[in-house]
Amino acid sequence: MPPSDTELLDALSALLPAQFEALLLRAKVPAAYLPSGVAPPPTRAPDVGRWVRQDPARRRLLVEDALRKVHGAAAAIAPEPLASGAIPPPTARPR
Protein backbone atom coordinates (compact mmCIF):
# COMPACT_ATOMS: atom_id res chain seq x y z
CA MET A 1 0.00 0.00 0.00
CA PRO A 2 1.50 3.38 -0.95
CA PRO A 3 2.25 5.87 1.81
CA SER A 4 -0.35 8.50 2.61
CA ASP A 5 0.20 12.17 1.81
CA THR A 6 0.94 12.78 5.49
CA GLU A 7 3.53 9.99 5.61
CA LEU A 8 5.19 11.32 2.47
CA LEU A 9 5.26 14.86 3.88
CA ASP A 10 6.72 13.58 7.17
CA ALA A 11 9.43 11.65 5.34
CA LEU A 12 10.35 14.69 3.21
CA SER A 13 10.37 16.99 6.23
CA ALA A 14 12.69 14.68 8.15
CA LEU A 15 15.42 14.71 5.49
CA LEU A 16 18.67 16.50 6.11
CA PRO A 17 19.21 19.50 3.80
CA ALA A 18 21.71 17.65 1.57
CA GLN A 19 19.38 14.65 1.32
CA PHE A 20 16.48 16.94 0.41
CA GLU A 21 18.53 18.57 -2.36
CA ALA A 22 19.49 15.12 -3.69
CA LEU A 23 15.82 14.12 -3.70
CA LEU A 24 14.87 17.25 -5.64
CA LEU A 25 17.48 16.45 -8.29
CA ARG A 26 16.50 12.78 -8.55
CA ALA A 27 12.76 13.54 -8.75
CA LYS A 28 13.38 16.43 -11.18
CA VAL A 29 11.33 18.90 -9.12
CA PRO A 30 11.57 22.30 -10.89
CA ALA A 31 13.18 25.00 -8.76
CA ALA A 32 10.35 27.38 -9.67
CA TYR A 33 8.01 25.38 -7.39
CA LEU A 34 10.19 25.81 -4.31
CA PRO A 35 11.13 28.63 -1.96
CA SER A 36 14.75 29.60 -1.54
CA GLY A 37 17.32 26.83 -1.17
CA VAL A 38 18.27 28.22 2.24
CA ALA A 39 14.86 27.28 3.65
CA PRO A 40 14.95 24.04 5.67
CA PRO A 41 13.30 20.85 4.33
CA PRO A 42 10.23 21.13 6.62
CA THR A 43 9.51 24.51 5.02
CA ARG A 44 10.04 23.27 1.47
CA ALA A 45 8.37 19.83 1.77
CA PRO A 46 4.79 21.12 1.40
CA ASP A 47 5.80 22.75 -1.89
CA VAL A 48 7.01 19.39 -3.17
CA GLY A 49 3.63 17.98 -2.10
CA ARG A 50 1.81 20.65 -4.12
CA TRP A 51 3.98 19.83 -7.15
CA VAL A 52 3.15 16.13 -6.75
CA ARG A 53 -0.61 16.81 -6.56
CA GLN A 54 -0.55 18.49 -10.00
CA ASP A 55 0.22 15.12 -11.63
CA PRO A 56 -0.04 12.55 -8.83
CA ALA A 57 0.15 9.39 -10.95
CA ARG A 58 3.62 10.21 -12.26
CA ARG A 59 5.17 12.67 -9.82
CA ARG A 60 4.38 10.72 -6.67
CA LEU A 61 6.26 7.72 -8.04
CA LEU A 62 9.21 9.97 -8.90
CA VAL A 63 9.35 11.39 -5.37
CA GLU A 64 8.88 8.02 -3.63
CA ASP A 65 11.61 6.44 -5.79
CA ALA A 66 13.95 9.37 -5.16
CA LEU A 67 13.26 9.14 -1.42
CA ARG A 68 14.24 5.45 -1.38
CA LYS A 69 17.41 6.16 -3.37
CA VAL A 70 18.42 9.06 -1.14
CA HIS A 71 18.02 6.89 1.95
CA GLY A 72 19.89 4.03 0.29
CA ALA A 73 22.76 6.30 -0.72
CA ALA A 74 23.03 7.84 2.75
CA ALA A 75 23.67 4.51 4.45
CA ALA A 76 22.45 0.95 4.56
CA ILE A 77 19.57 1.91 6.83
CA ALA A 78 17.39 -1.07 5.99
CA PRO A 79 19.49 -3.96 4.69
CA GLU A 80 16.42 -6.17 4.22
CA PRO A 81 13.95 -5.26 1.46
CA LEU A 82 11.28 -2.75 2.37
CA ALA A 83 7.62 -3.72 2.41
CA SER A 84 5.76 -2.85 -0.75
CA GLY A 85 5.21 0.90 -0.86
CA ALA A 86 6.95 1.52 2.46
CA ILE A 87 9.14 4.57 2.83
CA PRO A 88 12.32 4.03 4.81
CA PRO A 89 12.54 5.79 8.18
CA PRO A 90 14.44 9.09 8.23
CA THR A 91 18.01 9.10 9.44
CA ALA A 92 18.66 10.56 12.88
CA ARG A 93 19.61 14.21 12.85
CA PRO A 94 22.77 15.14 14.74
CA ARG A 95 22.21 17.38 17.73
Q: Is the pTM of this model over 0.75?
A: no
- The helix (H) or strand (E) run that includes residue 36 is none
Separation CA 20–CA 36 (nearest Å): 13
- Measured in whole angstroms, how far is the alpha carbon of residue 41 from the centre of its chain? 9
The letter for the amino acid at 65 is D
Q: Where are the domains of the chain?
A: 5-74
- Per-residue model confidence as pLDDT tens digits over 21-36: 999 999 999 988 887 7
DSSP state of 86: P
Q: Which of 82, 70, 60 is nearest to 16 (CA)?
A: 70
Give the model confidence (pLDDT) of 37-76 as tens digits.
Answer: 778 899 899 999 999 999 998 999 999 999 999 887 654 4
Q: What angle do CA 64, 70, 74 make, to 5 degrees?
A: 150
pLDDT value, residue 78: 44
